[in-house]
Structure 1
Amino acid sequence: MTAILETRGLTKVFGGVVAVKDVSFQLHKGELLALIGPNGAGKSTCFNMLMGQLPVTSGDVYLEGERITGLTPRQIWRKGVGRTFQITATYASMTVIENVQMALMSHHGEILRFLPFATRMHRDEALALLDMVGMANQAERHSAVLAYGDLKRMELAIALAHTPKLLLMDEPTAGMAPKERVALMQLTADIVRDRGVSVLFTEHDMDVVFAHSHRIMVLNRGELIAEGNAEQIRNNPMVQDVYLGGGTVFASEGAQ
């Protein structure tokens, strides 16, 4: 079976610093794959290379068997890759539904031509996406007044507006309260199950990682040092050493 996403020897060097070294993995359809590691391990650098926001030093990225190394972020997005960010990227001056409508207009190639009619376009589709993430009842609120957890859910609706086959989520629960984290990742797991979307996400909260990921990869100093299910990663001595200096990897808010 062809992987949705595959990397082969992905490497990034900044000057004399090797930020990511020879990272190779596969992500399959309907899989929720976690990429974890301490701060500075290279997780965000990996994401930026996957999405074309950073050029690779060496190695390749494949989407459903097609080499996408060197494509621009927009070209990669057009091929069915969505992304959410550590810090939400939304239009604060717009309402919740307008943010999603803008994403839908971009998906349909309508931004410039139909901008004067934006508030009337794709409302039903936007409301359906907001309902999926539990935000339909806040559709007419301005995003500037939303709680951070609601902003994250709105950003997920925006990412889904393009009907992606692959979703990259860079620390999706950063800045959220514990209950909000659990709710957002359960929502993500439901979307993976119901829509067959494949998800690669980075995360520091081990409760979230162990509870929701199908498989976990551990990055340290730019290199993959472990891969497996929650139990295998929890009991891996190298992972324990990386996180807690030899202690057991338990759930931990802010495990770095």
Structure 2
Amino acid sequence: MTEILRADNLRKSYDGFLAVDGVSFSVRQGELKALIGPNGAGKSTCFNMLTGQLKPSGGEVHLEGTRITGRPPREIWRMGVGRTFQITGTYRSMSVIENVQMALISHHRRIFTFGPRAWKLYRDQALEFLRTVSLEDQADRPCSVLAYGDLKRLELAIALCHRPRLLLMDEPTAGMAPAARIELMQLVADIVREQGLSVLFTEHDMDVVFAHAHHIMVLNRGALIADGSADEVRRDPRVQEVYLGGGTLFKEAGDA
């Protein structure tokens, strides 16, 4: 598979404290990859360096072979890296479809020229993206009345509007009920399979991670301590120690 993203020896320090310490990994086309670790492990710091919100203290990031280290977030977004955040950021006063239309207007560089008829622009395209996340029946509802799980779906639709090659999802199921978490990540997995999108996500719900991730990376104290399949990570003694002091991180299928 084609390598979409490569991070080489990424480091980030604050007054001598290494928040991220020499992290290297790759994400391939059509891969759904999880980045997990306890609070303070450096997951969000890694994400922020990949998308340009933070400048690395050292190391490099490449997108399909092009160096993007230190470029501004909007430029990296234009190059094909999307992102969703732990806390949703939709326009609550607008309707569901208007939120998606605004994302499409931005993608088509018409944000300062759309005029008073913006509500007519890209409506059909917006409906297609809402159909992808099963929200087309709520297109004209105001965002302020949506259930939280539906807001997460809407945020995903917005992130897909500029057709990214890589999507970074920071705690995509945070604050959701257990059943809704599984449904959302199954939706993401379906999009990965059908569109060949690459996804890197952070997550604290281990059921979500082990049920859907193709590969899993584990950070602890800023360092990468594991990178492999679900089974390899599940059995790694360093991962077991970090999460449960040597206990079983995740039961095998069929275990009591």
- TM-score w.r.t. the length of structure 2 is 0.96
Deviation, 1:3, is 1.3
Cα distance between partner residues in 2 of 1:125 and 1:115: 19
Between the aligned partners of 2:2 and 2:164, the Cα distance in structure 1 is: 17
CA distance in 1, matches of 2:71, 2:119: 32
Q: CA deviation at 1:234?
A: 1.0
Partner of residue 206, structure 1 = 206
Match for residue 107 of structure 2? Answer: 107
Q: Secondary structure at the match of 1:186?
A: helix
| Counterpart contact for 1:2–1:65, Cα < 8 Å | no
- How far residue 137 of structure 1 moved from its aligned partner, in angstroms, is 0.7
Structure 2 partner of 1:236: 236
1:85 corresponds to: 85
Which residue is 2:20 aligned to?
A: 20
Aligned: 1:32 with 2:63: no
Looking at structure 2, the residues matched to 240 and 213 of structure 1 have their Cα atoms a distance apart, in angstroms, of: 18
Map 1:49-198; keep pairs closer than 5 Å: 49-198=49-198
Spell out structure 1 runs of 4+ moving beyond 4 A: none
Equivalent in the alignment of 2:218? 218
> Does the 8 A contact of 1:96 with 1:143 survive in 2?
yes
Aligned residues between the structures: 251
Give the secondary-structure state (helix, strand or coil) at the position aligned to 1:4: strand
The alpha carbon displacement at 1:16 in A equals 2.0
> TM-score with structure 1 length normalisation?
0.96
One-letter amino acid matched to 1:93: S
Aligned identity (percent) is 67
What amino acid sits opposite 1:137 in the alignment?
D
Report the Cα offset of residue 2 of structure 1.
4.7
5+ long unaligned stretches in structure 1: 252-256
In 1, Cα distance between the equivalents of 2:145 and 2:237?
A: 45
Query: Residue 246 of structure 1: CA displacement?
Result: 1.1
Structure 2 portions without partners, runs of 5+: 252-256
